[in-house]
Protein backbone atom coordinates (compact mmCIF):
# COMPACT_ATOMS: atom_id res chain seq x y z
CA UNK A 1 0.00 0.00 0.00
CA UNK A 2 1.41 3.39 -0.95
CA UNK A 3 1.94 6.11 1.61
CA UNK A 4 -0.24 9.13 2.21
CA UNK A 5 2.73 11.10 3.44
CA UNK A 6 6.30 10.62 2.39
CA UNK A 7 9.24 12.55 3.78
CA UNK A 8 12.68 12.20 2.25
CA UNK A 9 15.94 13.68 3.47
CA UNK A 10 14.33 16.54 5.38
CA UNK A 11 16.84 19.14 6.55
CA UNK A 12 15.90 22.19 8.56
CA UNK A 13 18.19 24.90 9.88
CA UNK A 14 17.45 27.83 12.20
CA UNK A 15 20.31 30.14 11.28
CA UNK A 16 23.36 27.97 11.76
CA UNK A 17 21.70 25.43 14.05
CA UNK A 18 20.63 22.33 12.21
CA UNK A 19 17.47 21.02 13.83
CA UNK A 20 16.51 18.31 11.35
CA UNK A 21 19.45 16.44 9.89
CA UNK A 22 17.90 14.25 7.28
CA UNK A 23 14.59 12.75 8.29
CA UNK A 24 12.99 10.00 6.20
CA UNK A 25 9.63 8.58 7.04
CA UNK A 26 6.31 7.60 5.57
CA UNK A 27 2.79 7.49 6.92
CA UNK A 28 0.10 5.25 5.46
CA UNK A 29 -3.56 6.10 5.15
CA UNK A 30 -5.37 5.76 8.51
CA UNK A 31 -2.14 5.26 10.38
CA UNK A 32 -1.60 6.87 13.78
CA UNK A 33 2.01 7.81 14.36
CA UNK A 34 3.25 9.15 17.67
CA UNK A 35 6.44 11.18 17.66
CA UNK A 36 8.33 11.17 20.94
CA UNK A 37 11.71 12.45 22.02
CA UNK A 38 13.30 14.89 24.41
CA UNK A 39 12.89 18.63 23.87
CA UNK A 40 15.13 19.96 21.14
CA UNK A 41 15.13 16.67 19.30
CA UNK A 42 13.22 18.24 16.41
CA UNK A 43 9.87 16.51 16.80
CA UNK A 44 7.73 19.66 16.80
CA UNK A 45 9.80 21.14 13.98
CA UNK A 46 9.18 18.01 11.92
CA UNK A 47 5.46 18.45 12.38
CA UNK A 48 5.59 22.15 11.54
CA UNK A 49 7.50 21.51 8.32
CA UNK A 50 4.72 19.25 7.07
CA UNK A 51 2.30 22.18 6.85
CA UNK A 52 4.95 24.78 6.04
CA UNK A 53 4.73 26.67 9.30
CA UNK A 54 8.48 26.26 8.99
CA UNK A 55 10.45 26.52 5.77
CA UNK A 56 12.99 23.79 5.21
CA UNK A 57 16.26 23.86 3.35
CA UNK A 58 16.47 20.43 1.78
CA UNK A 59 14.42 17.34 1.26
CA UNK A 60 10.96 16.57 -0.01
CA UNK A 61 7.59 16.22 1.69
CA UNK A 62 4.97 14.60 -0.49
CA UNK A 63 1.38 14.47 0.73
CA UNK A 64 -1.08 12.44 -1.32
CA UNK A 65 1.10 12.80 -4.40
CA UNK A 66 1.64 16.57 -4.00
CA UNK A 67 5.01 18.01 -3.18
CA UNK A 68 4.54 20.36 -0.23
CA UNK A 69 5.95 23.86 -0.17
CA UNK A 70 8.64 23.65 -2.83
CA UNK A 71 9.00 22.78 -6.47
CA UNK A 72 12.05 22.02 -8.51
CA UNK A 73 12.11 23.43 -12.01
CA UNK A 74 15.17 23.25 -14.27
CA UNK A 75 17.15 21.96 -11.33
CA UNK A 76 16.31 25.01 -9.20
CA UNK A 77 14.40 24.48 -5.98
CA UNK A 78 12.04 27.28 -5.14
CA UNK A 79 9.30 27.97 -2.65
CA UNK A 80 5.82 27.77 -4.06
CA UNK A 81 3.64 30.89 -4.14
CA UNK A 82 2.00 31.95 -0.86
CA UNK A 83 -1.38 31.23 -2.36
CA UNK A 84 -0.38 27.71 -3.33
CA UNK A 85 1.16 27.10 0.09
CA UNK A 86 -2.03 28.33 1.76
CA UNK A 87 -4.02 25.85 -0.33
CA UNK A 88 -1.64 23.04 0.61
CA UNK A 89 -1.82 23.91 4.29
CA UNK A 90 -5.53 23.16 4.17
CA UNK A 91 -4.67 19.58 3.20
CA UNK A 92 -3.47 19.08 6.74
CA UNK A 93 -5.11 20.10 9.97
CA UNK A 94 -3.16 21.12 13.03
CA UNK A 95 -3.87 21.37 16.73
CA UNK A 96 -1.45 23.36 18.85
CA UNK A 97 -0.12 23.16 22.37
CA UNK A 98 -1.62 26.57 23.17
CA UNK A 99 -4.95 25.87 21.36
CA UNK A 100 -4.72 29.19 19.49
CA UNK A 101 -8.45 29.69 19.23
CA UNK A 102 -9.49 33.05 17.83
CA UNK A 103 -10.56 34.89 21.00
CA UNK A 104 -12.94 37.30 19.25
CA UNK A 105 -15.05 34.48 17.78
CA UNK A 106 -17.36 32.03 19.52
CA UNK A 107 -16.59 28.32 19.49
CA UNK A 108 -18.92 27.80 16.54
CA UNK A 109 -17.51 30.79 14.66
CA UNK A 110 -13.98 29.47 15.20
CA UNK A 111 -14.98 26.28 13.43
CA UNK A 112 -16.95 28.16 10.78
CA UNK A 113 -14.27 30.63 9.70
CA UNK A 114 -12.38 28.27 7.40
CA UNK A 115 -15.58 26.75 6.07
CA UNK A 116 -17.00 30.12 5.10
CA UNK A 117 -13.83 31.80 3.85
CA UNK A 118 -12.13 28.85 2.17
CA UNK A 119 -14.78 26.26 1.42
CA UNK A 120 -17.16 29.04 0.41
CA UNK A 121 -20.04 27.62 2.41
CA UNK A 122 -23.01 29.76 3.36
CA UNK A 123 -23.14 30.68 7.04
CA UNK A 124 -26.05 28.29 7.59
CA UNK A 125 -24.27 25.35 6.00
CA UNK A 126 -21.09 26.14 7.91
CA UNK A 127 -23.01 26.49 11.15
CA UNK A 128 -24.67 23.10 10.66
CA UNK A 129 -21.35 21.43 9.99
CA UNK A 130 -19.67 23.25 12.87
CA UNK A 131 -22.40 22.11 15.23
CA UNK A 132 -21.91 18.54 14.08
CA UNK A 133 -18.21 18.66 14.88
CA UNK A 134 -18.72 20.47 18.17
CA UNK A 135 -21.21 17.81 19.10
CA UNK A 136 -18.65 15.22 18.14
CA UNK A 137 -16.13 16.68 20.62
CA UNK A 138 -18.90 16.98 23.19
CA UNK A 139 -19.28 20.76 23.13
CA UNK A 140 -22.48 21.43 21.22
CA UNK A 141 -23.97 23.24 24.20
CA UNK A 142 -20.91 25.52 24.38
CA UNK A 143 -21.14 26.57 20.72
CA UNK A 144 -21.89 30.21 21.45
CA UNK A 145 -19.31 30.66 24.18
CA UNK A 146 -16.16 32.61 23.55
CA UNK A 147 -12.80 30.89 24.11
CA UNK A 148 -12.25 32.99 27.24
CA UNK A 149 -15.31 31.35 28.77
CA UNK A 150 -14.09 27.80 28.16
CA UNK A 151 -11.70 25.61 30.12
CA UNK A 152 -8.39 24.60 28.57
CA UNK A 153 -9.65 21.14 27.74
CA UNK A 154 -12.77 22.56 26.12
CA UNK A 155 -10.71 25.07 24.14
CA UNK A 156 -8.47 22.31 22.85
CA UNK A 157 -11.46 20.26 21.79
CA UNK A 158 -12.88 23.24 19.90
CA UNK A 159 -9.47 23.70 18.26
CA UNK A 160 -9.51 20.07 17.16
CA UNK A 161 -13.06 20.47 15.81
CA UNK A 162 -11.92 23.57 13.93
CA UNK A 163 -9.13 21.61 12.25
CA UNK A 164 -11.16 18.47 11.53
CA UNK A 165 -14.09 20.39 10.06
CA UNK A 166 -11.85 21.35 7.14
CA UNK A 167 -11.62 17.63 6.31
CA UNK A 168 -7.84 17.42 6.18
CA UNK A 169 -6.15 14.35 4.77
CA UNK A 170 -3.76 14.34 7.69
CA UNK A 171 -4.12 15.66 11.24
CA UNK A 172 -1.11 16.99 13.11
CA UNK A 173 -1.23 17.24 16.89
CA UNK A 174 1.54 19.25 18.50
CA UNK A 175 1.72 18.43 22.21
CA UNK A 176 -1.98 19.15 22.52
CA UNK A 177 -2.19 18.12 26.17
CA UNK A 178 1.02 19.74 27.48
CA UNK A 179 -0.65 23.00 28.51
CA UNK A 180 -3.59 21.32 30.22
CA UNK A 181 -4.25 20.60 33.86
CA UNK A 182 -3.90 16.87 34.46
CA UNK A 183 -7.62 16.36 35.01
CA UNK A 184 -8.40 17.89 31.62
CA UNK A 185 -5.99 15.74 29.63
CA UNK A 186 -8.34 12.77 29.48
CA UNK A 187 -11.18 14.51 27.65
CA UNK A 188 -8.83 15.65 24.87
CA UNK A 189 -7.20 12.26 24.50
CA UNK A 190 -10.66 10.71 24.32
CA UNK A 191 -11.47 12.89 21.31
CA UNK A 192 -8.23 11.93 19.58
CA UNK A 193 -8.89 8.28 20.26
CA UNK A 194 -12.31 8.62 18.66
CA UNK A 195 -10.79 10.15 15.55
CA UNK A 196 -8.26 7.34 15.35
CA UNK A 197 -11.09 4.84 15.51
CA UNK A 198 -12.72 6.65 12.57
CA UNK A 199 -9.64 6.05 10.48
CA UNK A 200 -8.24 9.57 10.50
CA UNK A 201 -4.55 9.64 9.58
CA UNK A 202 -2.69 11.34 12.39
CA UNK A 203 0.75 12.32 13.55
CA UNK A 204 1.04 13.38 17.13
CA UNK A 205 3.92 14.82 19.01
CA UNK A 206 3.30 13.85 22.59
CA UNK A 207 4.73 13.42 26.05
CA UNK A 208 1.94 11.07 27.03
CA UNK A 209 3.81 7.80 26.68
CA UNK A 210 0.90 5.77 27.94
CA UNK A 211 -1.35 7.36 25.34
CA UNK A 212 1.18 6.84 22.54
CA UNK A 213 1.39 3.24 23.61
CA UNK A 214 -2.34 2.86 23.56
CA UNK A 215 -3.40 4.67 20.43
CA UNK A 216 -0.43 4.78 18.06
CA UNK A 217 0.20 2.08 15.50
CA UNK A 218 3.77 3.21 15.24
CA UNK A 219 6.11 5.34 17.31
CA UNK A 220 8.93 7.48 16.00
CA UNK A 221 11.63 8.38 18.47
CA UNK A 222 13.39 11.59 17.44
CA UNK A 223 16.91 12.04 18.68
CA UNK A 224 19.24 14.90 17.76
CA UNK A 225 17.42 15.81 14.54
CA UNK A 226 17.16 12.31 13.13
CA UNK A 227 14.88 9.35 13.71
CA UNK A 228 16.59 7.39 16.44
CA UNK A 229 14.29 4.44 16.39
CA UNK A 230 10.85 3.61 15.10
CA UNK A 231 8.43 0.76 15.21
CA UNK A 232 5.60 -0.87 17.03
CA UNK A 233 5.00 0.88 20.37
CA UNK A 234 4.68 -2.31 22.34
CA UNK A 235 8.01 -3.63 21.15
CA UNK A 236 9.73 -0.25 21.39
CA UNK A 237 8.62 0.55 24.90
CA UNK A 238 9.29 -2.90 26.27
CA UNK A 239 12.52 -3.61 24.45
CA UNK A 240 14.16 -0.42 23.17
CA UNK A 241 16.90 -1.21 20.66
CA UNK A 242 18.99 1.88 21.31
CA UNK A 243 20.50 3.07 24.53
CA UNK A 244 19.21 6.60 23.89
CA UNK A 245 15.60 5.45 23.77
CA UNK A 246 16.03 3.27 26.84
CA UNK A 247 17.35 6.32 28.69
CA UNK A 248 14.54 8.51 27.42
CA UNK A 249 11.86 6.06 28.45
CA UNK A 250 13.39 5.68 31.87
CA UNK A 251 13.25 9.44 32.44
CA UNK A 252 9.75 9.84 31.05
CA UNK A 253 6.57 9.09 32.89
CA UNK A 254 6.04 5.74 31.21
CA UNK A 255 7.06 2.79 33.31
Piece in contact with other proteins (CB under 8 A), picked from 38-46, 81-89, 182-190, 232-240: 81-89
Q: Are strands 76-79 and 58-63 parallel, antiparallel or unpaired?
A: unpaired
- By CB under 8 A, name the one of 7, 23, 44, 96 that touches other proteins: 96
- By CB under 8 A, name the one of 11, 13, 21, 145 that touches other proteins: 145
β-strand partners of 18: 13
* Three-state DSSP state, 153: helix
What's 116's DSSP letter? H
Q: What residues from 54 to 73 belong to the interface with other proteins (CB under 8 A)? A: none
234 binds other proteins (CB under 8 A): no
237 binds other proteins (CB under 8 A): no
**How many residues interact with other proteins (rule CB under 8 A)?**
34
Long-range contacts of 10-17 (CB under 8 A, 24+ apart): 10/46, 10/49, 10/56, 10/58, 10/59, 10/60, 10/61, 11/56, 11/57, 11/58, 11/59, 12/42, 12/45, 12/49, 12/54, 12/55, 12/56, 12/57, 13/57
160 binds other proteins (CB under 8 A): no
Q: What CA–CA distance (Å, rounded) separates 173 from 179?
A: 13
Nearer to other proteins, 96 or 221 (CB): 96
- By CB under 8 A, name the one of 33, 46, 49, 159 that touches other proteins: 159
- By CB under 8 A, name the one of 73, 78, 83, 120 that touches other proteins: 83
- By CB under 8 A, name the one of 163, 184, 200, 236 that touches other proteins: 163
98 binds other proteins (CB under 8 A): yes
239 binds other proteins (CB under 8 A): no
Phi-psi label, residue 191: left if phi above 0, alpha if psi -120 to 50, beta otherwise: alpha
117 binds other proteins (CB under 8 A): yes
- By CB under 8 A, name the one of 37, 42, 69, 147 that touches other proteins: 147
89 binds other proteins (CB under 8 A): yes
120 binds other proteins (CB under 8 A): no
87 binds other proteins (CB under 8 A): yes
Nearer to other proteins, 104 or 235 (CB): 104
What's the farthest any 2 CA atoms get from each other in the chain? Answer: 56
179 binds other proteins (CB under 8 A): no
Phi-psi label, residue 56: left if phi above 0, alpha if psi -120 to 50, beta otherwise: beta
Q: What is the DSSP string of 186-235?
A: HHHHHHHHHHHHTT--EEEE-S-HHHHHHH-SEEEEEETTEEEEEE-HHH
What are the residues binding other proteins (CB under 8 A)?
A: 51-53, 82-83, 86-87, 89-90, 92-94, 96, 98-104, 113-114, 117-118, 145-150, 159, 162-163, 166
Amino acid sequence: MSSLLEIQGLHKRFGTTEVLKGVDCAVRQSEVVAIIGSSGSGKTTLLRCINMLEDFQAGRIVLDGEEIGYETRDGVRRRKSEKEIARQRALTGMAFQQFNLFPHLTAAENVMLGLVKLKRMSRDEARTLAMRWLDRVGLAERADHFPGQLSGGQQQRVAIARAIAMQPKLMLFDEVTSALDPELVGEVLQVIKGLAADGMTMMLVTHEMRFAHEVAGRVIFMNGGVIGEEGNPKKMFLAPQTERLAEFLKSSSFN
